[in-house]
A = this chain, B = another copy of it.
């Protein structure tokens, strides 16, 4: 016997058939995926094999792994900031429909795959040129896909005013799209940079993440 006072009853909006799902389970599932992806990154920090130190000290073996720490930090920051912005976006909606759930799934795909390019970059950042560029390009391409999926999800969330708490004015929508566009251009530029300097590519992503940390949806809200 549980003692949960909030038995669920059908809300009026559902009866109207506007949008079928509450945002709470979308948030719970997404939070789970974000939390796991961000925490799995730590599995890519390798402990040097005691038998493989070859007279080297552990301190210098650890220092030698700086690309792994760098990639870890940037990916952690990227996933963390996406989470904050996902949080802010979900707060705009009252209910979501199946297409939005699917668009959210596409975003989660690009987020949950991030540990793979991170590991790849950590391993090849200081390898011979061609391979470092390949690894950097895979990393940057993942971020381009993630950025595109986030924009798509924003469009899906906001395409039907009836699913929102308050309609977003056209001007605010345009401002938000402009900012998504700027972000997209930065990510594409970082992809180009991957073929010049993998380290600069990674640093660019850290900067873009910090830029996104400041509220991208602010104009959409301040004008309401």
Enumerate chain A interface residues (CB-CB to B < 8 A).
1-11, 13-15, 17, 20-25, 27-29, 31-43, 45, 47, 50, 53, 57-59, 62, 72-73, 76-77, 80-81, 83-84, 87-88, 90-92, 94-95, 98, 101-102, 105, 108-109, 112-116, 119-120, 123-124, 127, 130-131, 134-135, 138, 165-166, 213-215, 221
User: What residues of B have a CB within 8 angstroms of the CB of A29 in the complex?
Assistant: 31, 34-35, 83, 87
* B14 x A1 contact (CB < 8 A): yes
User: In the complex, are the beta carbons of A98 and B84 less than 8 A apart?
Assistant: yes
Complex: A220 Cα to B81 Cα, angstroms:
31
Tell me if A9 and B165 are in contact (CB < 8 A). Answer: yes
A5's contact among B11, B32, B101, B213, by CB below 8 Å, is which?
B11
A6 to B27, CA, bound (A): 15
Whether A11 pairs with B20 at a CB distance below 8 angstroms is no
